[in-house]
A and B are shown apart, each in its own frame.
Chain A
Amino acid sequence: MSTPVLQVNDLKKHFPIRAGFFGGTTGYVYAVDGVSFDIAKGETLSLVGESGCGKSTVGKAVLRLFDITDGQVILDGQRIDDMPSGTLRPMRRRMQVVFQDPFSSLNPRMRVRDILAEPIRNFGLAKDAAELEAKVAGLMDKVRLPRDAVGRWPHEFSGGQRQRIGIARALAAEPDLIICDEAVSALDVSVKAQIVNLLQDLQRELGLALLFISHDLAIVEHMTHRVAVMYLGKIVEVAPKRSLFAAPKHPYTEALLSAVPVPEPGAARERIILKGDVPSPINPPKGCRFHTRCPYAFDRCRVEEPPLRPVADALGEGHVAACHLHDLPAEQNPLAGSKGAAILAHA
């Protein structure tokens, strides 16, 4: 197996809570609390979960937009989490980002040409002005925007077009990995489809690896190769797409799948409606973090935190989950079978 493009080991990010006149630390938000995964070349890994689960923090930590509390981030075999910023800067070329909000992700006071030229100049990817101009034009072609639009300002474009510009900016650095932080979530349905198709085409064409951070499970299923499900700062399950959707092995994944409304009136689905709300990441529950809402929780879940480990899955290898239920005999384990089809009302 070749080295993965990105490897994240036991990543932790705790944000201090400051209060009082002198700004002393009174506690921590355990936004990300021990997350590990890797992404192979050309692969899409999706990070799913609800707001506040820490998925966007993982994306920003990988990009090193801030320093992490603990753990390792390894890009193309090199640790970047403790790299001095001078050494890191050229490494940044290999991973780029596309953000959610197409309006605030482009500097309103820069023309499209300058937005796209910035990474090309920073990384010295063009020898002269003519090559720069050619590269910018090429990027516009790649994201299917007219070349003569490079002289325009961001506010002259619609949301979908702005997102294309954001993608073009990410491609300008010729990266190996693009982190898509809710990249299609703010878009209308019909525009969303355009951008999803564009991302898939680009991935195929350029062999890009994608870290696709999203809360939209239908889009994730459509886009991804593997899925990691996050809850309260931890990954609770990782599996290849088909295994995850057909046979979820964590009660949270199961509930998440069952909660997505499907555009199929009268579909007979098995509904699992979770009680209550996500607990605060300032004071996460002891034991399994999901036990306060889990329909199957038993005594052990309240005291012992389950580790992430391989689980039996008829559909294939590489399915890991963090749940004590898998220690029970199969007939007592509600997650033993493949319930995906029943939950998703899929014929």
Chain B
Amino acid sequence: MSTTVLPPGVAAAAPMPDILPAVKPKTGFTGFLRRNPTIAIGGFLMLLMVFVAVFAPFLWTKDPTALAPALRTREPSAEWWFGTDMLGRDVYSRVLYGTRVSLTVGFSVAIFASLAGLTIGLISGFIRIADSIIMRVMDGMMSIPPILLAIALMALTRGSVGNVILAITIAEIPRVSRLVRGVVLSLREQPYVDAAVAAGTRTPVIILRHILPNTLAPLTVQATYICASAMITEAILSFIGAGTPPIIPSWGNIMAEGRALWQVKPYIVFFPAVFLSITVLAVNLLGDGLRDALDPRMAKRL
């Protein structure tokens, strides 16, 4: 404490103590992660899964499709980390390669459904006549559970990863369009949009410059949830044999094949199930974290 001599007649106020310990502001990237632990955990798990998918061949895997009838249903051991299935294939390798299918489907569906939903949502948010028609169609589609819709679509085509993506995307579009339309309708009422109209901005520019960028935050959040639900839908489709062809290892396939042996060899189902759960958890954590970080008010809306 410095002792400053006050001029005569001057009274200084008593200093107020700190009642909360001073904390260092959490700034920068690490600060952001510390303030948003869900993003940190979800993001870490997600990166881990992407790493696994990309580098699967280098992570001590064997050929996931190599049959070895002599080595059927081996328990997990140093040789076969997750054991082998009823055709003698290495479950560890199959699960790691299965990550590729799951992530491809999840990300692709999230991207395609968002783009399609964004387009449809923008159109119906701006064109009155189109709105009532499009939204009734979407209502109709939403009355069918997405999984049933996807099964029906898969029944029309051959099983392939591309077709799985297409089927799930179509099933997810109505939800995204509804969200975007709702956001567009509320953004249209914003004073800055009125100000832009008064400033002579043309409608297409208003959509691109004033509406679109402001839909991206809620859309990103929605996309993560779609990603998670697409991964689950893919696993279900593959599990019931309506998804990826059996030749491509996917978590749903592996579980389907292990189903018959569930009571004696539970690990065949267990390991892909754990991977699926962790990945879906990661994506959902990321989504929740992004929602809170991007717009705290949206937490109530979604």
Q: Is B197 an interface residue (CB 8 A)?
A: yes
Residue pair B192, A173 in contact (C-beta under 8 Å) = no
Residue pair A122, B201 in contact (C-beta under 8 Å) = yes
Binding site for B on A (CB under 8 A): 23, 60, 63, 65, 89-90, 92-93, 95-97, 99-101, 104-110, 118-119, 122-123, 166, 169-170, 172-173
State the CA gap A101–B200 with chains docked (Å): 21
**Would you list 29 pairs from A and B whose C-beta atoms are within 8 A, ordered by A residue?**
A23-B132, A63-B194, A65-B194, A65-B197, A89-B202, A92-B199, A96-B198, A97-B194, A97-B195, A97-B198, A99-B191, A99-B195, A101-B191, A104-B190, A104-B191, A104-B192, A105-B195, A107-B196, A107-B210, A108-B214, A110-B209, A118-B196, A122-B200, A123-B200, A166-B195, A169-B199, A170-B195, A173-B199, A173-B200
A60/B194 contact (C-beta < 8 A), A107-B210, A108-B214 known: yes
User: Which residues of the other chain, A, contact B199 by a CB distance below 8 angstroms?
Assistant: 92, 96, 118-119, 122, 169, 172-173
A89/B200 contact (C-beta < 8 A), A107-B210, A108-B214 known: yes
User: Which residues of the other chain, A, contact B132 by a CB distance below 8 angstroms?
Assistant: 23
User: Which residues of the other chain, A, contact B190 by a CB distance below 8 angstroms?
Assistant: 104
Give 7 nearest A-B pairs by CB, closest first: A119-B199, A122-B200, A99-B191, A105-B191, A109-B213, A107-B192, A92-B200
Q: Which of B189-229 contact A (CB under 8 A)?
A: 190-192, 194-202, 209-210, 213-214
User: Which residues of the other chain, B, contact A122 by a CB distance below 8 angstroms?
Assistant: 199-202
State the CA gap A97–B194 with chains docked (Å): 9
A90/B195 contact (C-beta < 8 A), A104-B190, A108-B214 known: no
Q: 18 new A-B pairs (CB below 8 Å) besides A105-B191, A109-B213?
A: A60-B194, A63-B198, A89-B202, A92-B199, A93-B200, A95-B198, A97-B198, A99-B195, A104-B191, A105-B195, A106-B192, A107-B209, A107-B213, A118-B199, A122-B200, A170-B195, A172-B199, A173-B200
> Which residue of chain B has the shortest Cβ distance to A91 in the bound complex?
B200
State the CA gap A100–B194 with chains docked (Å): 12
User: Which residues of the other chain, A, contact B197 by a CB distance below 8 angstroms?
Assistant: 63, 65, 92
A109/B195 contact (C-beta < 8 A), A122-B201, A123-B200 known: no
Residue pair B194, A109 in contact (C-beta under 8 Å) = no
> Which residue of chain B has the shortest Cβ distance to A102 in the bound complex?
B191
With an 8 Å Cβ cutoff, the count of chain B residues facing the other chain is 17
> Which residue of chain B has the shortest Cβ distance to A65 in the bound complex?
B194
User: Which residues of the other chain, A, contact B191 by a CB distance below 8 angstroms?
Assistant: 99-101, 104-105
Give the distance to chain B from A333, nearest Cβ to Cβ, in Å: 43
Give the distance to chain A from B269, nearest Cβ to Cβ, in Å: 47
State the CA gap A108–B198 with chains docked (Å): 18
Give the distance to chain A from B248, nearest Cβ to Cβ, in Å: 41
User: Which residues of the other chain, B, contact A92 by a CB distance below 8 angstroms?
Assistant: 197-200
Residue pair A109, B214 in contact (C-beta under 8 Å) = yes
Residue pair A169, B195 in contact (C-beta under 8 Å) = yes
User: Which residues of the other chain, B, contact A96 by a CB distance below 8 angstroms?
Assistant: 198-199
State the CA gap A64–B197 with chains docked (Å): 9
State the CA gap A97–B214 with chains docked (Å): 22
User: Which residues of the other chain, B, contact A172 by a CB distance below 8 angstroms?
Assistant: 199
State the CA gap A109–B190 with chains docked (Å): 13
User: Which residues of the other chain, B, contact A107 by a CB distance below 8 angstroms?
Assistant: 192, 196, 209-210, 213-214
User: Which residues of the other chain, A, contact B210 by a CB distance below 8 angstroms?
Assistant: 107
Give the distance to chain B from A12, nearest Cβ to Cβ, in Å: 20
Give the distance to chain A from B186, nearest Cβ to Cβ, in Å: 11
Give the distance to chain B from A241, nearest Cβ to Cβ, in Å: 27
Query: Pick the contact of B200 from A90, A105, A110 — CB < 8 Å?
Result: A90
> Which residue of chain A has the shortest Cβ distance to B214 in the bound complex?
A109
State the CA gap A93–B198 with chains docked (Å): 8
Give the distance to chain B from A304, nearest Cβ to Cβ, in Å: 38
User: Which residues of the other chain, B, contact A65 by a CB distance below 8 angstroms?
Assistant: 194, 197-198
State the CA gap A60–B198 with chains docked (Å): 10
User: Which residues of the other chain, B, contact A97 by a CB distance below 8 angstroms?
Assistant: 194-195, 198
> Which residue of chain A has the shortest Cβ distance to B212 in the bound complex?
A109
State the CA gap A56–B196 with chains docked (Å): 17
User: Which residues of the other chain, A, contact B192 by a CB distance below 8 angstroms?
Assistant: 104-107
User: Which residues of the other chain, B, contact A173 by a CB distance below 8 angstroms?
Assistant: 199-200
Q: CB-defined interface of B39-68 with A at 8 Å, one 1/0 digit per residue? A: 000000000000000000000000000000
User: Which residues of the other chain, A, contact B201 by a CB distance below 8 angstroms?
Assistant: 118, 122
User: Which residues of the other chain, A, contact B194 by a CB distance below 8 angstroms?
Assistant: 60, 63, 65, 97, 99
User: Which residues of the other chain, B, contact A23 by a CB distance below 8 angstroms?
Assistant: 132
User: Which residues of the other chain, A, contact B202 by a CB distance below 8 angstroms?
Assistant: 89, 122
Q: Which of B163-203 contact A (CB under 8 A)?
A: 190-192, 194-202
> Which residue of chain A has the shortest Cβ distance to B211 in the bound complex?
A107
State the CA gap A107–B192 with chains docked (Å): 6
State the CA gap A107–B199 with chains docked (Å): 13
Give the distance to chain B from A183, nearest Cβ to Cβ, in Å: 11
User: Which residues of the other chain, B, contact A60 by a CB distance below 8 angstroms?
Assistant: 194
User: Which residues of the other chain, B, contact A169 by a CB distance below 8 angstroms?
Assistant: 195, 199
State the CA gap A110–B214 with chains docked (Å): 10
> Which residue of chain B has the shortest Cβ distance to A60 in the bound complex?
B194
